[in-house]
């Protein structure tokens, strides 16, 4: 493991540990903070949900969401819950290490870059891009006017190989009474699969000058050549 990656992992674990000792880290505490926000259903449409499906350890990627307020009222607090289903983590972009007797079992799959997430076009004024709430899985992106499109960006560095699914859930508030709904009347939700490998993908430059991945046949041929020259 490279020194850079070790530093990134150490920094991530330190930050994760700090989050767990902050008061009010549960999602219930988030709701208590915003108990007076306007109640009701707020129609929205998820226009974009992107995350690179094939990733490499130590590389940086953007998870992006674009949500449009399709209703007639201002959304009080557009928020997103990020989770890794089935990984038993209390944090975004992390998993729970099943080893027994650990003082702290939360481990990063991706390290969130400083100043992120943020709402695109807006400068990040504080930790977590100005979106921080009292829950480490809930991110608040503020008010959204009718017809406005809110773009959300999480910039992360992959640190653990494996196959994962990142879930996102869109809300219109943080108190539980302001509910985002899609055109079917359901709360917007989605899964973004991503596979992280520990080795860089083999690539070549094609006739158009574009960098493209080698075909499987070409990769097999190259590996055979490497074994033959060893």
Alpha helices, DSSP H, located in the chain: 3-20, 27-33, 216-229
pLDDT in tens, 57-99: 999 999 999 999 999 999 999 999 999 999 999 999 999 998 8
pTM above 0.75, yes or no: no
Fold of 3-199: Immunoglobulin-like (2.60.40)
pLDDT in tens, 135-172: 889 999 999 999 999 999 999 999 999 999 999 999 99
pLDDT in tens, 1-26: 444 444 444 444 444 444 433 333 34
Q: Do 157 and 12 contact (CB within 8 A), yes or no?
A: no
């Amino acid at each position: 493991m490279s020194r850079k990656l070790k530093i990134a992992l150490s920094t991530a674990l330190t930050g994760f540990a700090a989050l767990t000792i902050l008061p009010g880290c549960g999602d219930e505490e988030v709701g208590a903070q915003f108990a007076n926000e306007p109640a009701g259903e707020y129609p929205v449409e998820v226009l974009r949900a992107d995350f690179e499906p094939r990733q490499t350890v130590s590389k940086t990627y953007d998870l992006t969401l674009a949500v449009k307020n399709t209703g007639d009222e201002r959304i009080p607090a557009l928020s997103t819950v990020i989770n890794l289903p089935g990984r038993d983590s209390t944090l975004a972009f992390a998993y729970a290490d099943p080893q027994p007797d650990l003082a702290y079992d939360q481990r990063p799959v991706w390290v969130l870059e400083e100043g992120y997430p943020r709402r695109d076009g807006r400068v990040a004024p504080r930790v977590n891009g100005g979106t921080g709430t009292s829950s480490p899985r809930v991110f608040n992106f503020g008010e959204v006017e009718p017809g406005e499109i809110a773009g959300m960006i999480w910039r992360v560095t992959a640190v653990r190989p494996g196959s994962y699914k990142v879930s996102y859930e869109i809300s219109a508030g943080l108190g539980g009474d302001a509910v985002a709904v899609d055109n079917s009347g359901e709360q917007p939700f989605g899964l973004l699969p991503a596979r992280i490998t520990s080795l860089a993908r083999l690539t070549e430059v094609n006739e158009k000058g574009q960098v493209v991945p080698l075909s499987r046949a070409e990769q097999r041929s190259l590996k055979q050549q490497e074994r033959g020259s060893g």
